[in-house]
Structure 1
Amino acid sequence: MENLENTQGAVEHTKTHECEENLENTQGAVEHTKTHECEVCTKVFLRRKYLTKHMKRHLGKKITCKICAKGIAPETYTKHLRIHSGEKPYTCDMCGRTFHEFGNLKMHISVHTSSKLGTENSYRCERCDSVFATKKHLRRHIDVHDKPYQCDFCGKQFSAGHRLNLHRKGHENKYKCEVCDKAFATSSRLNIHVMTHTGEKPFRCRTCGKSFCAMLNLHIHERIHTGEKPYKCEVCGKSFNRKDNLLYKHMKIHTGEKPYFCKVCNKCFNRSENLKTHMKVHQDKNISTSILFPECIA
């Protein structure tokens, strides 16, 4: 049952963690990935401190880098990989400069927000009192509060265009499964997928005994037992245990979107299940269904 310990902070990938928001509001720090994932065993945690605590389990067990074959301590493995990839995930909102490590970004930010800036030649943000040396840096900082850049793929919003471009790379599937050729954005997600071929399901529900190949799936499943519904519709207040149920199904009621249409009579529906029921009216099993009929979008 080792895999079930220290599950505090494990969350669905679509849920933004609190520490991320605090960093952005106070420092203008780059928006990290939505969760903190262990590179050793692929467990996912809500906050970095939970991941740091978890990583102590792996202390003394060096990871062999697949690129240079060096033995790397687990707690520094992610940083080490950036040497090979050239990845600089931490971006300054004020000048766009990027860094390998968050600590370096934090030190750099002090250049823009130094208390030594004079009141006459400095520019202060009215929303958070941060001080900047130039109007250009202030305008770039204001975007942090507004987040005008949105990812077309997942809807996540960003304060700067270059951060959106960096995020989009995460949707690129670089890691391919040797069994079925499916591709994934990260090696950890590929490792989880491989378990579908091996049949390995190391994460077991303590309540009903059902097993899963990923901690994420277990966490979602546990909401059935706890009754937790963390995702709330801002229109009508109805709550859901999964974000996709809210975004892709329920919201169609409010938007009027009906992407599923009948090829026989062109009648439109907001759910594929309703279309399948309707097709029985025509009693023709050979007629196929389609989606995203332009005239069905309200």
Structure 2
Amino acid sequence: MAETLFKCELCDKSFSRLSYFHFHERSHTDEKSFTCELCDKSFSHFSNLCSHQRIHAGEIPFTCEVCDKSFSQVSFLQSHQQIYTGENLFTCEVCSKAAQSSNVLDHQANHTGEKPFKCDVCEKTFATSTRLLTHQRIHTGEKPFRCEYCEMYFIQSSDLLRHQRIHTGEKPFMCEVCNRAFTQSSTLMQHRRIHTGEKPFKCEVCKKSFSRSSNFRVHQRIHIGEKTFTCEMCYKSFSRSSALYEHQRLHTEEKTFTCEVCNKDFAQLSGLLNHRHIHKVEKPLKHEVCD
């Protein structure tokens, strides 16, 4: 094993080569000595500049041997290939669910309930020290993972990976029914409910079910009386953003709902509904309001 000669005074990490040490040092400074000649963006490492320049050149040299998809960085390709290889997966002996090997303790905590690592600030507990360290960044504001395309910062590497798909256009999660692709597994899971009809979010008050958690949260405001959307002109509050939008037409005098019989315009859907009784029209409305 090579002798360790160079030690960082800021984080105590050690390196066997001076070049590695200098490369690491830039992570503690704002030094960005490598500048793109096309857009003037600067980077702390030459390798990051090279990866960035592929955006301008349209170069995507790393190709998947299974599906022929190409990527600008080898890390993007490696992440993509795990879909086919199942690399770094383990199978739980209790429920037979497959998961990343790095998440073994996290998953097993679902069965044992054991979470020995506690946050000193909010006393929330975690199954692994890694999860605790990631959580503590919420309190410290630390965001160590930076996007090389737009230089946004993230608390977790997984958040960075999902974000970078905005730049790469990668959609690795595909629906097996309609072949529609998504950037996140959670979005695919939500999409599948269109085909299965599953509605896992059930209101305990009125027993109504929903396929999306966002629609479920909006519905719950009906029962608790929560009105989070407030008109800036008259301060009237509403439980849904669509209701606020419709109300604001009273102030702007915008009239988007038209009677199909006499062509009279109305600012609100309720006004058109009341008016239609004059004509005794039972046909469905041409305009629909969506949340």
Pair in the same fold by TM > 0.5: no
Q: Which structure is higher in RCO with an 8 Å CA cutoff and minimum separation 6?
A: 1
Q: TM-score, normalised by structure 2?
A: 0.43
Q: TM-score, normalised by structure 1?
A: 0.42
